[in-house]
Amino acid sequence: MFNSALFKKYQVTNWLGSSLLYFDELNSTNKYAKEMVSGQSLHGTLILADWQKQGRGQYDRSWIASADQNLTFSIILEPNHSVALTTLTLACALAVADVCSYLTRKECKLKWPNDVFCEGKKIAGLLTESVFLGSQISRLVIGIGLNVNETAFGSGLKHATSLAKLTGSEFERERVLSQILTKIEYYYRLWETKDIALIKMINKHLIGYGKWVHLTVDDKPREGLFKFLGINETGSMMVLNKELEVDTFAHEQIRIHLD
């Protein structure tokens, strides 16, 4: 069971995670976060469940994780602007990758648009959802699933890994979570101030950055190769086509294939 008191002991963030809602089990931390009603700001609220019965990832895929072994949580953000929300998701993914790289001493990279891979296998996934008030975003919910101490993956998850599998050691989930939140809080500040340094850091960690790749756009393969140029200031993906022109795509439009 996750030890909330121990997490608070490790926590060094200024605002992110100061309000923690912990559950033994929950259908979905993202769903709970989206449905929360409050007369006060929920900015920085952390919802964590030791087991998600209906965890979801990108493209409405299920996120399968054993109880008490991993980290499945959502954070609520109330951003001061809505520019480059894709970049914010990638910034949170970068925070996870940084911590995983530090703990495993292995290179962890970002797979467009919202996964973290280490040694060619998926170790974490993110799902960002918006809550609107009229036409304005009032709340952003970023769900994160990280495989921590999971070691038995089924045949359908042969491309998955965990901190424990990569190192042969078990980890204190409370300490890992505190490290991730510290990194997210730092990168959130860069995103909030539209610091170009964040774009550069994300691009350097994107799998395929600077390489010639195949594309699938709106579920249809594109002919030929395209050079992956990373993301721009608005969070759109950029590629160089065969006419040496730069095409840009929203994250939901496009998928990258290295072979």
CB neighbour list of residue 100: distance below 8 Å, 6 or more residues apart: 106, 108, 116, 118, 123, 124, 146, 163
pLDDT tens-place string over residues 170-195 = 999 999 999 999 999 999 999 999 99
pLDDT tens-place string over residues 20-30 = 999 999 999 99
Residue 87 has pLDDT above 80, yes or no: yes
pLDDT tens-place string over residues 99-137 = 999 999 999 999 999 999 999 999 999 999 999 988 889
Residue 63 has pLDDT above 80, yes or no: no
pLDDT of residue 134: 85
67: pLDDT confidence band, cut at 50, 70 and 90? confident
Residue whose token pair is 């490290």 = 179
Residue 156 has pLDDT above 80, yes or no: no
Residue 58 has pLDDT above 90, yes or no: no
Segments making up each domain of the chain, as ranges: 4-205, 212-257
59: pLDDT confidence band, cut at 50, 70 and 90? very low
The CA R_g of the chain, rounded to the nearest whole Å, is 18
103/145 Cα distance (integer angstroms): 17
Fold of 212-257: SH3 type barrels. (2.30.30)
232/248 Cα distance (integer angstroms): 9
Mean pLDDT, rounded, for 249-259: 86
CB neighbour list of residue 32: distance below 8 Å, 6 or more residues apart: 21, 23, 26, 47, 74
Could you tell me what percent of the chain has a pLDDT over 70? 95
Mean pLDDT value across the chain: 93
6/23 Cα distance (integer angstroms): 16
Domain 4-205 class, CATH top level: alpha beta
